[in-house]
Structure 1
């Protein structure tokens, strides 16, 4: 018998999530909140600089010293702001390739402007690649999202890397109860829909749009890596997961 989550059969959750994504992309693009080529991606929505500025006004941001931000285009102003504000910045290597799946950008040692270092290409050229064991506890996680709701449930584009990164960092004790997770999005990405969640999903503490900050109270964190949710192919494709599985 299939397991049940809040009325959903778990075998149907992927389809339910994809339906939410489809509605969010159409609503955002048709509403003029992002370019048409945002479909199928973490949207590079209009207003990302204003969103980064609003995020930087949060007390939690001002108190943070170490920030982990997703490498998508929508978070570029936030990654740039983190470096300009003197924060250590972690961002994932594309597809979590290799046993050192994160980049570390230290504003004190940058040899290029912050905006250049924060770009995907710039990070690949100037950042230091590190493994989880070389990282320090993270104060703020900035995650790219396709859709969120006001309870804090969020959904990405379906590749699953953001969830895996957070789960890996939870497993290592680097994302803890004191870590704040933020979703910068366009207002059109904030849906009233229920967003299905499984054990490996995380929720966000704040939604930040160009115009407002929404505090979410339904905090949800994964217990770490949920091995039963990972296929053999997924584990084999991500070296750090394959290594951890061998060590179990």
Structure 2
């Protein structure tokens, strides 16, 4: 019997009763698409189509960032909402990284998990940990500063689990080094490469993750409390994995950040129920074991999810509908919220100036 539990709603599922049951255990490893599939489709597009698609994508991306900036300004000014206190910290850290000259592309770094000088050194320091060595399956966020972590997961012969950006087009994908040519490894660690080389994970897969790596805007090393860029996808990804049984409260959560992203004004008492703390912080210069006492989320907190957020994430809509159909009970829904527009992503070129720009590992 598999149980699903959150604060306001409890239900159980029998393995033989339909969704969200588990099917027989199986692993998805990487795959290499045929030469005539997505790559052929990309090459069949004219240069003009590619240029127009990229320009449209960049315009939409800028629109999304401007809208998020406006929302953050409103939250800071009005002071409403339980997480509004996080915005001044985010802005301070983004500004500090720029002022100290350690911010790296993609820029501007505000409203992103910021890339930083020394990100690869932090990834190498993480890869040297015994916890990393022991884990056979590692989940890593798809942001640029963690690209070095993703490469070391695959380079070490491990299975990489990474989410689709913003969970918008799908769910998680898995990649394995044995199915990826050495020359393709850097590309496979980008969002476009994951689409090409990754195998999709379903909610019924018997996935077991040994280590979780998340990006952060700021983290307090004294208590393991972190904040992201403000969209809540790391928390949603973690909640889904808890629901699947892919992780539990003992699964270590790690973040890699620059030393300037370490702060002392994120208090445990301020953290929300869905916030995911970290057990280990790795910077280019040090490893910090936080000994966090903040509880990790027990699963998907449906009462926190607005109708607008559900409308963005297909996998959650499908799961919610399945649970409600299975139990005959309606799950709670969170209050309405205004979300920024999501940037459109068109076909991407591999190589060339625009191709390199579009393969920056953004989550958008």
TM-score (norm 1): 0.91
User: Aligned residue for 1:109?
Assistant: 179
Residues of 2 paired with 1:170 and 1:225: CA distance?
8
Q: Which runs of 4+ in 1 moved over 6 A?
A: none
Question: The residue matched to 2:162 in structure 1 has which SS?
Answer: strand
Query: Which blocks of at least 5 consecutive residues in structure 2 are unaligned?
Result: 1-78, 325-364
**1-structure distance, mates of 2:85, 2:158:** 37
What is the match of residue 229 of structure 1? 304
Measure how far apart 1:18 and its partner are. 1.1
Report the aligned-residue RMSD.
Answer: 1.6
Residue of structure 1 in register with 2:89 after alignment: 20
- How far did 1:113 drift? 3.0
**Residue 31 of structure 2 corresponds to residue 31 of structure 1:** no
Per the TM alignment, residue 60 of structure 1 is displaced from its structure 2 partner at its CA by: 0.3
Q: Distance in 2 between matches of 1:45 and 1:172?
A: 33
In the TM superposition, 1:1-248 aligns within 5 A as: 11-35=80-104, 37-98=108-169, 100-111=170-181, 113-150=184-221, 151-195=223-267, 196-219=270-293, 220-246=295-321, 247-248=323-324
Paired residue for 1:4?
Answer: none
Residues paired across the two proteins, number: 238
Output the CA distance in 2 between the equivalents of 1:114 and 1:140.
21
**Worse-superposed segment, 102-111 or 83-92:** 102-111
Structure 2: how far apart are the matches of 1:127 and 1:214?
A: 32
- Deviation of 1:135 (Å): 4.8
Higher RCO (C-alpha under 8 Å, 6+ residues apart): 2
* Distance in 2 (alpha carbons) for counterparts of 1:109 and 1:83: 10
Once the two structures are TM-superposed, the CA of residue 11 in structure 1 deviates from its matched residue by 4.9
CA distance in 1, matches of 2:190, 2:266: 33
Secondary structure of residue in 2 paired with 1:41: coil
Rg larger in 1 or in 2?
2
- Cα pair 1:139 1:178 within 8 Å, conserved: no
TM-score, reference length from structure 2: 0.63
Residue ranges of structure 1 left out of the alignment (5+ in a row): 1-9
Query: Partners in 2 of 1:24 and 1:103 — Cα distance?
Result: 31
Secondary structure in 2 matching 1:108: helix
